[in-house]
Amino acid sequence: MYLPQIDDERTTLCNYLDVQLDAIRASAYGLDDEQARRTPLRSALSISGIVKHIVYCMKQSLSGAGHHEHDQPFEAFAASFTPTPEETLDVLLGVFDDVRAQYTQMCREGDVETELPVGPMPWFGMDEARPAKLRYLYVHHVEEFARHAGHADIIREELDGATAGELLAAVEGWPANDYITPWRS
């Protein structure tokens, strides 16, 4: 959790990104591969699919910032929500952790005034990448990651009743208090 404090703009944005990435990572805590692939709601989203999609998003940003080892064809977007049989939860979490380390480093070292290409986003009528400041990308990712962390919360509650606070407490090793008890599966 990023508690109130006085930080510069980049640090504040990066800390909020970390909080959302922590929540997405924690949503998989204690699940096996079969559970993580379940789609218990009316959508096709699963915990594994959300983890895979967030990896896609982080790689797109790294690629746009010049880390071309993360270049992906745009067509990879459609496949980014559904893990292949080889993409087990353990594999996805390993990739998530590796890409997150690079993404976080890029964010923590980035100048919010730097311009980079963002998009395309054809679902919003934007068929070509557009230049934006790194600040835009940080805020967009806070929004994107928070949306999917919320999806993961709902999916996880449907799977076994675990809530985000309980999962984070378990992952982070927080002691129980009057409000949250760490999740035990």
The Cα-based distances of 88 to 34, 98, 148, 171, 184 in angstroms read 9, 15, 19, 20, 22
Q: Which of 20, 102, 9, 11 is nearest to 61 (CA)?
A: 102
Whether 84 maps to a domain, the answer reads: yes
What is the number of other CB atoms lying within 10 angstroms of the CB of residue 2? 15
User: What CATH number is attached to the domain comprising 67?
Assistant: 1.20.120.450
* Residue pLDDT, tens place only, 105-161: 999 998 899 888 888 888 889 889 899 998 999 999 999 999 999 999 999 999 999
Phi, psi angle pair for 44, to nearest 5°: -95, 10
Domain that holds residue 115: 9-172
Give the pTM: 0.93
Residue 66 backbone class (left: φ over 0; alpha: ψ -120 to 50; beta: rest): left
Into how many domains does the chain fold?
1
Whether 88 maps to a domain, the answer reads: yes
